[in-house]
Amino acid sequence: MASKFVAFTSLGRRALPNQWDVIALSLIFGIFVLIVHASRGMVLPLPPPDTAPISLDYSYLPYYALRTTMRMFLALAASLLFTLTYATIAAKSRRAEVVLIPMLDVLQSVPILGFLSFTVTFFLGLFPGSVLGAECAAIFAIFTSQAWNMAFSFYQSLRTVPSDLAEVSEGFRLSPWQKFWQLETPFAVPALIYNMMMSMSGGWFFVVAAEAITVGDTTIKLPGIGSYLAVAIDQRRLDAVLAAVLTVLIVILLYDQLIFRPIVTWADKFRVELSASQSTSSSWVLGLLQRTVWVRRAFSPIEAAFEWFTSLRIDLPRIGGGKGESPTASRVIDVVWVVAIALLAFYAAWQTISFVSSSLSWHDLLETMGLTLITMLRVIVLLALASLVWVPIAVWIGLRPAVAERVQPAAQFLAAFPANVLFPIAVIGILAFHLDPDIWLSALIIFGTQWYIVFNVIAGASAFPNDLREVSANFRITGWAWWRNVILPGIFPYYVTGALTASGGSWNAAIVAEYVKWGNDKVAAHGIGAYIAKATEAGDFPRIVLGVAVMSVFVILYNRLLWRPLFGYAERRLRIG
Amino acid sequence: MLDEATGPLLEVRHVSQRYKGGQDDDAPAVLDDLSTTLSGGEIVGLLGRSGCGKSTLLRIVSGLIHPSSGEVVYRGAPIKGPADGIAMVFQSFALFPWLSVLENVELGLKALRVPADEARRRSLAAIDLIGLDGYESAYPKELSGGMRQRVGFARAVVTHPNILLMDEPFSALDVLTAETLRSDLIDLWCEGRLPIKTILMVTHNIEEAVLMCDRILVLSSHPGRIASEIRVTLPHPRNRLDPEFRQLVDNIYALMTRRPTSKQPGKEGAFPGTGIGMVLPRVSTNSLAGLVEEVAAPPYNGKADLPHLADSLQLEIDELFPIAETLQLLRFAELEEGDIKLTSAGRRFADAEVDARKKLFGDHLLACVPLAARIKRVLDERPSHHAPASRFREELEDYMSEDYAEKTLRAAINWGRYGELYAYDEDAQAFSLENPA
């Protein structure tokens, strides 16, 4: 099972970030600074004249939901395109790989809202006076919440294509293009689909933030659920918030049933396990489609066109490390390549530092580091609390198949539900009871992500081998000894997957959760999330760059030093079967 | 059936293959200066132990890998990559799980841009020929192993190759299924119904080679060379109980257990490499003890015929030989002319109780396996009596590939644990002298 927010390329014992991570980090932030520079040069965009105000009338909700869903699927299509190219280049070219994969690693650690701040002005400037720029910015923001884990999954699939199938393809002299469509992509499909579903739920979280865009004094609200919610919050309309929540719920259920379920069931046939598998998924929609003659007939030209497209004998240019190179030439190119990348990274780092230091001092750096530590403490403490509460409950559920069958879909649904739409309600509570935001806003960080722990642990407990349960019953292992020696090691790999996902999601949620508004009331906790959110609101780019960069570095270190060793340990020692 | 006048169909000329990464000439060779020819109308078997490079040779012939030196000439031109007219059948079947039987068979033709209706016609004919009629729309995961391998055959045959390469095509199947497939294939071959000129098959099963092949190339291991070439002139269908058949099998056993005639000092037994650089097989101490007991007991009473032993224990030579050779390395047994004979130490081992056995095993391990002796000495010398595994792994990697180093180290760990020479902590990846109290 994969994790949404964090993926590790290797589980080797060496976990410390290396020079490639530093290079990737400076390249990415160099690009951010470049974008900021570029958009400064552009004319500050005028507010597009034709934006209709968002109405809180319930009857607009279906239309807004449609617009939002459209945006999400457009972003998903963009993510797919990105995945098929970026991951493929990374997997095929040794030289590209050393840069692209660490960059992906950094990108998945950048808090998603960070991207929004950098790119909004840029996109608005691209299409001055038109709502298209805002649309592009929103879609891009959603894209950044979907693309990285899909690319990682595709990259990993490409690296693990079964060697015998690769040999067959080569023996039949499939061109790289044909091999890509006949072997590599089909092989990657199951993992990719799973990650697309995870990406969709990640996307919902940020739709809310991406649709209502503020630049300087102008606010653009694209028609959609996110804007509806933003307006509802502004006007303190609790009923409208609840209506939006209900709409999101219905939309998620609909596309799950109508789109993802059929695709998942269909994708089952791409699993490479040559035994009749205990097929778990079923879909009434797919069954309907497959049994209806006219639907099949309507699809057949599309199928034929796709087949024609994929069996073209396009000979893609061999990217890097071709067979024709002599070893010396190859080594020379390697050196030139590394030097060029290092210089570029150095330049990017210098640009970033000079941009940030033009208005900020060491004191700001220390401040952001302190704030990041506070947020990290929050994430760790809440993860521990959630684990303490949920692991025993989830184990209890998982060991009872009848209960698990009912609870599991609910837990998965809750994980997919964008928890931030409920945050305003928490603010009402905090304001009403005069609670300490530093403590009570923290709870929001884990609110949406704890479900990853729940459903992973349930899955682990359900998969726990029956013979081991019988053995422990037979030897009367009970109480703490049972937890310590039997079930906790048994579910540990699943728990780590769940907790890793929850932790990645929590970091992202921190930006939204540490700074929450209700009408004109603002509640903020101390932390890097609130720092970035405030800087974004003020349009203070040096502060955004600094905050996002410091947070990214912390997240990378935290993942590498804490989670990767745990993950590797779980895979090596505790994976059953 | 074919035009034999035009000379050999395929020629392997001085092919050598070295471990990847080993660029210098002293990197261990997998294949060493190997030459042979294939002409039409014959089934040629490549017989050898695991690790002798027979699969590597097959992949070189197919053009999937390039030899470090030498070349393969097919119809007058050197092979530069996968060639037209050479098709392969895989041990693991290598079917695309998302394609139906028909689509799997059509795949090769589609890649060659054969028009759709012709591809369909030829695929159906091949499916028919191989006995898969009625399974066209099934997916591989619905089929049994035997049926899957039939798809593998149909997929190879449909392209009408001149040369059919088979990489242990029956070794993943159960005994009965394998036998059916072998006889079906031989029947088709003898009746001339296969659109194929020559078959080159890799196997580690001596009886299979004698049953099917017209010519058997026996490869020696480390480095892979052709140890001998045997013509089999028995008419098809061949009978395994035929005395001539048995004699051939016995002869090949003797050939394969012959001691290497190497004069290198310090070269012991059948394993490649010398001293600490010797590649050790992963053989469980239970198997070792089991074989000693089996040979010591009646009816063998200390000396057994290997083909007979393999038959009665239901072991493939790939399983039996490493066990027997490990016993030879540890001086518990001698291998000669297809026989295994226990030494006096081997007899003592067979009679001893558990603790005495472990003591004896540990002593022999120290004396006969340089790596075990090295680990023990390092641990003795260090004041902490601790040593990380990486220290030995890196040393091994000077002599052999990473995979072999890992396997060798694992063997040393397991044997050392049994002989109670040292302990190994998996979490810390370290050797030590202490046993948990």
Give the pLDDT confidence of A512-541 residue by residue, as tens digits. Answer: 888 888 878 888 888 998 898 888 877 788
Q: Is the dihedral of CA A302, A305, A311, A312 positive or negative?
A: negative
The two three-digit tokens of residue A565, written as one number: 């060793």
- Model confidence at A41, in pLDDT bands (50, 70, 90)? low
Q: Do B88 and A167 touch (CB under 8 A)?
A: yes
- Model confidence at B31, in pLDDT bands (50, 70, 90)? confident
Each residue's pLDDT tens digit, A495-511: 998 898 888 888 888 87
Other C-beta atoms within 10 Å of A300: how many? Answer: 10
Residues of A with CB below 8 A from B98's CB? 186, 269-270
**Mean pLDDT for the stretch of residues B423-428:** 86
Nearest to B141 among A165, A173, A276 (CB): A276
Chain A within 8 Å of B112 (Cβ-Cβ)? yes
Residues of A with CB below 8 A from B82's CB? 170-173
**Distance to chain B for A222, nearest Cα, Å:** 42
Q: Do B96 and A178 touch (CB under 8 A)?
A: no
Alpha-helical (H) ranges within A324-474 are 327-357, 362-398, 401-416, 423-433, 437-440, 442-447, 450-463, 466-474
**Distance to chain A for B313, nearest Cα, Å:** 28
More confident residue, B436 or A79: A79
Other C-beta atoms within 10 Å of A201: how many? Answer: 21
**Mean pLDDT for the stretch of residues A170-184:** 86
Segment 178-217 of chain A within 8 Å of chain B by CB: 178, 182-183, 186
**CA trace torsion A182, A184, A187, A190 (10° rounding):** -110
Summary count for chain B: helices (H), strands (E): 15, 16
Chain B within 8 Å of A157 (Cβ-Cβ)? no
Give Cα B53 distance to the centre of its chain: 8
Chain A within 8 Å of B361 (Cβ-Cβ)? no
Chain A within 8 Å of B108 (Cβ-Cβ)? yes
Q: Do A164 and B94 touch (CB under 8 A)?
A: yes
Among the residue ranges A52-66, A81-95, B68-82, B251-265, the one predicted with the least confidence is B251-265
- Kindly state the percentage of chain B with pLDDT values over 70: 92
Residues of A with CB below 8 A from B92's CB? 164
Within 13 Å, how many C-alpha atoms sit on residue B165's CB side?
24
Nearest to A186 among B92, B98, B426 (CB): B98
Each residue's pLDDT tens digit, B290-305: 999 999 988 888 889 8
Chain B within 8 Å of A322 (Cβ-Cβ)? no
Contact A479, A487 (CB under 8 A): no
Shortest CA distance from A272: residue in chain B: B97
pLDDT at B262 > cutoff 50: no
**Mean pLDDT for the stretch of residues B89-118:** 88
Summary count for chain A: helices (H), strands (E): 27, 4
ipTM of predicted assembly, 2 dp:
0.77
What integer pLDDT is reported at residue A201 of this predicted model?
80
Shortest CA distance from B110: residue in chain A: A311
Across chain A, mean pLDDT equals 82
pLDDT at A317 > cutoff 70: no
Which residue from A399, A518, A375 is spatially nearest to A459, judged by alpha carbons? A399
- CA-CA distance, A189 to A201, in Å (whole number)? 19
What integer pLDDT is reported at residue B1 of this predicted model?
41
- Measured at the CA of A530, the angle between CA A524 and CA A536, to 5 degrees, comes to 120
Shortest CA distance from A179: residue in chain B: B111
**Distance to chain A for B201, nearest Cα, Å:** 16
Q: Do B111 and A277 touch (CB under 8 A)?
A: no
Nearest to B97 among A167, A271, A327 (CB): A271
Helix (H, G, I), strand (E, B) or coil at B78: strand
Residues of B with CB below 8 A from A273's CB? 97, 141
Other C-beta atoms within 10 Å of A453: how many? Answer: 28
Q: Do B427 and A172 touch (CB under 8 A)?
A: no
More confident residue, A218 or B257: B257
What is the per-residue burial (b if ≥16 Cβ within 10 Å, else e) of A92-118? bbebbbbbbbbbbbbbbbbbbbbbbbb
* All residues at 6 or more sequence positions from B182 whose CB lies less than 8 Å from its CB, including other chains: B170, B208, B211, B212
Query: pTM for this structure?
Result: 0.82
* All residues at 6 or more sequence positions from A191 whose CB lies less than 8 Å from its CB, including other chains: A2, A153, A154, A156, A157
Helix (H, G, I), strand (E, B) or coil at A523: strand
Which residue from A499, A450, A498, A470 is spatially nearest to A399, judged by alpha carbons? A470
What integer pLDDT is reported at residue A297 of this predicted model?
74
Amino acid found at B175: V
Nearest to A274 among B97, B113, B155 (CB): B97
**Distance to chain A for B333, nearest Cα, Å:** 37
Nearest to A178 among B111, B155, B427 (CB): B111
What integer pLDDT is reported at residue B2 of this predicted model?
44
Q: Do B141 and A183 touch (CB under 8 A)?
A: no
What integer pLDDT is reported at residue B187 of this predicted model?
92
What integer pLDDT is reported at residue A2 of this predicted model?
45
pLDDT at A43 > cutoff 60: no
**Distance to chain A for B173, nearest Cα, Å:** 14
Find tokens 């609670």 and name the residue.
A435
pLDDT at A555 > cutoff 70: yes
Q: Do A327 and B82 touch (CB under 8 A)?
A: no
pLDDT at A84 > cutoff 90: yes
Q: Do A276 and B148 touch (CB under 8 A)?
A: no
Edge-to-edge strand order for the sheet containing B198-203?
B86-89, B163-167, B198-203, B43-47, B215-220, B225-231
pLDDT at A114 > cutoff 80: no
What integer pLDDT is reported at residue B225 of this predicted model?
85
What integer pLDDT is reported at residue B221 of this predicted model?
75
Instruction: Return the DSSP state at A487.
Output: I
pLDDT at B65 > cutoff 80: yes
Residues of A with CB below 8 A from B88's CB? 167-168, 171
Across chain B, mean pLDDT equals 86
- Model confidence at B264, in pLDDT bands (50, 70, 90)? very low
What integer pLDDT is reported at residue B436 of this predicted model?
54
What integer pLDDT is reported at residue A109 of this predicted model?
79
**CA trace torsion B13, B18, B23, B24 (10° rounding):** -90
- Kindly state the percentage of chain A with pLDDT values over 70: 88
Contact B375, B365 (CB under 8 A): no
- Model confidence at A42, in pLDDT bands (50, 70, 90)? low
Cis peptide bond prior to B299, omega within 30° of 0: yes
Shortest CA distance from A277: residue in chain B: B141
Chain B within 8 Å of A171 (Cβ-Cβ)? yes
**CA trace torsion A217, A218, A222, A227 (10° rounding):** 30
- CA-CA distance, A509 to A205, in Å (whole number)? 8
pLDDT at B191 > cutoff 60: yes
pLDDT at B269 > cutoff 60: no
What integer pLDDT is reported at residue B267 of this predicted model?
42
Interface test with B, best of A163, A164, A168 (most B CBs within 10 A): A168
**Distance to chain B for A270, nearest Cα, Å:** 5
Edge-to-edge strand order for the sheet containing B423-425?
B386-388, B430-432, B423-425
**Mean pLDDT for the stretch of residues A17-41:** 75
- CA-CA distance, B212 to A254, in Å (whole number)? 60
Pairing mode, strands B303-305 and B339-342? antiparallel
Contact A453, A390 (CB under 8 A): yes
Q: How far is CA B1 from CA A200, B40, B91, in A?
A: 62, 9, 28
What integer pLDDT is reported at residue B345 of this predicted model?
92
- Measured at the CA of A50, the angle between CA A48 and CA A53, to 5 degrees, comes to 100
pLDDT at A275 > cutoff 70: no
Shortest CA distance from B95: residue in chain A: A165
Residues of A with CB below 8 A from B86's CB? 171
Residues of A with CB below 8 A from B108's CB? 172
pLDDT at B66 > cutoff 60: yes
Each residue's pLDDT tens digit, A438-485: 888 888 888 878 888 998 899 899 888 888 888 888 888 888 889 988
**Distance to chain A for B170, nearest Cα, Å:** 16
- Beta-carbon contacts below 8 Å between A and B: 72
What integer pLDDT is reported at residue B435 of this predicted model?
65
- Model confidence at B214, in pLDDT bands (50, 70, 90)? very high
- Measured at the CA of A529, the angle between CA A195 and CA A438, to 5 degrees, comes to 120
Residues of A with CB below 8 A from B388's CB? none
Of the ranges A7-21, A398-412, A505-519, B179-193, the best mean pLDDT one:
B179-193
What integer pLDDT is reported at residue A49 of this predicted model?
47
* All residues at 6 or more sequence positions from A549 whose CB lies less than 8 Å from its CB, including other chains: A25, A29, A352, A356
Each residue's pLDDT tens digit, A278-293: 445 667 777 777 777 7
Chain B within 8 Å of A166 (Cβ-Cβ)? no
Q: Do B90 and A275 touch (CB under 8 A)?
A: no
- Model confidence at B265, in pLDDT bands (50, 70, 90)? very low
Amino acid found at A27: L
pLDDT at A47 > cutoff 60: no
Each residue's pLDDT tens digit, A419-446: 877 888 888 888 888 888 888 888 888 8
Q: Do B97 and A171 touch (CB under 8 A)?
A: no
**Distance to chain B for A74, nearest Cα, Å:** 28
**Mean pLDDT for the stretch of residues B90-103:** 90
Of the ranges A381-390, A429-438, B78-87, B270-279, the best mean pLDDT one:
A381-390
